[in-house]
Structure 1
Amino acid sequence: MYPSGQKGLEGVRGRIEESCFISGATGKGKSTLLRTFNGLIPDFYAGVFRGKVRVLGEKPSAKIAYLVMQNPYEQITSLRVIDELVFPSVQGGANYRDAKKDAESLAEEMGIGHLLERTTHTLSTGELQIVEILSAILSKKKVLLMDEPFAHLSTRNVRGLIKIIGDLFTIISDHRVEFRELFPQHMDLGVDRVDYPDVQAEIGDVIFDGLLTLKKGEIIAVIGDNGSGKTTMLKKLAEEMKKAKVDFGIVLQNPNYHLTEGTVIQEVGDEWVLRDFGLEGLKDRHPHALSYGQAKRVSIARVFRRDILLLDEPTAGQDTSFRRKLIHLLRGYGKTAVIATHDERLAKCCDRVVRL
């Protein structure tokens, strides 16, 4: 139990003997479970911990297991990509020249060799996520723990990554369950299965004409590979709309960029929206004390007061039922939206798809 009184996880028993895919609804404790495997819980996170966890027969430790966190921006250690890749292995005692050679080889295999001399802060979220995952692989730890590693990756890059980690002992927590069958072992922490009825699209007249032409009530998906410019497109749309004095709201991939109030209800500002997003139980919590998935949902809910929504990877960190729920809510509230996404199932629910 965390200091806030929230139960992170309860009643989990089992044995993971080979690479495992962990699924479960948002807030069910997937990240909490991963943190117990490298000792972050209970050694770093405060709260009450009861139970026993062993990793390869030993007490959980960062010396055994390497955790790739959900938000890649929280894990950056270096300015250059090549230095970011070699940092864990050099910290572990490897020779820099040998580590650099290994990093260059792995980067070419994954198709990001052209990024090696780039600065980490110029990468897209997906590109940075790939870098952090490869850095973990290069650390040569016995166990790799990955929290939502596929959230910001294109299908092509997900499949490339799975091929690379094929022979490694990897435990992954992710909502993109379409890739679950590619792992020999599965664990389900509980999925909230809710069927949201389709709402008939009512598309009206053109309400914005710029980089994209938008009609009232229209939902557009912008898709493309990592680094193709989806986020850049949303930002340019935001600049155009600001100049045109259009009522819009934008949600970028890192929810913490948007959360500035002291409680969830203050962020959202509407009890009905709070309820429809399933956030009632979190209304008095501080937004920065939430899980990534919960914070992402709050960041989207807070812009529902706007007419046009620009959403960057809105289903990252969200369970599969949220895909349909998001479209249901957008239509139900009569919103116009542009959604940058790698979620192909979400894109199919939109009125129009723009590929970059």
Structure 2
Amino acid sequence: MSFNATDHQHIRWNPLKGDWVLVSPHRMKRPWTGQVEKLNEQDRPEFDPKNPLCPGVTRPNGDVNPQYTSTFIFNNDFPALLEEVPEPPPSDNPLFRSAAAKGTCKVMCFSPKSNVTIPIMSIEEMRQVINTWVEELQELGKKFKWVQIFENKGEAMGCSNPHPHCQIWASSFLPNEAAAKDRNMMNYKITMGTNLLLDYAKQEEEKNERIVVSNNDWLALVPYWAVWPYETMIIPRTRHILRMTDLTDDEKTSLADIMKKLTTKYDNLFECSFPYSMGFHGAPTGPGCEGEDFDHWQFHAIYFPPLLRSATVKKHMVGYEMLANCQRDLTAEQAAERLRSLPDTHYKRKN
């Protein structure tokens, strides 16, 4: 018997994080007897006077939102990071270490309308979102080492407010995921003499097995090492880009285009507003980074959606995943093919 990646279990290496994922494609053939949930996706109004993210509404802290017409950004009313806080005392005990953690947290609304999402928004509206991200990264990047832009979409990802929005957390320290990527991309550059994600994009385009959508500047693909069933990554096709602030006007427009195309595929997969957590990773910023060589970095976006079999059946990271090793059933190639074959027109706009 010869190895077949769609039938036989194997492990795949993630060069960005430096760990493995167990792929068990034969498990997709088993009958499903697990949890089944009722999908409750109701039409939302364009404006909800009780929603604290809508224009003109009073938030829990007493502040009143302006009558904004495009994007709107404000300091998180319940931030996980603050700038002015005492620092923990130094410790020489290797088992009980702590360090200072300072930062700021912001909330950014994509649109004044509560009933839209990225796949429904226009390219022009998404361009304004990207412009605002760039402005925030420029401003916060002057002061903080890491600026994490991320969106939690849907109740399945713990999003408590359906209004289209994201969060921006800036920190004085390099978070674990960023530190792992920094280390592994640096090691690849030292060993191979080239950029990891530039090499990866070139080879993915040559293989054309895991690409979902593409345009002149970007590839949206299911990574070879993906953990979540329909996990994807957006990476530049050929240009070396350290940070979002380095994008040209054309690249901002094409980024808006590919984000819209990818999330449309997501929604069409199970004909629902597809939940996910997504975010952007680029080279570190802040004081002290100006003279450092971050040539090993490449700007990219990551999407982590939980759905597996339908709009109501999720992949749960439990048991083996929590205690031993990340594991997936659907291969990256199978996931890419399913997404790629879906219509480009959103299911709500087919008619």
TM range, smaller chain: under 0.3
TM-score (ref. length: structure 2): 0.24
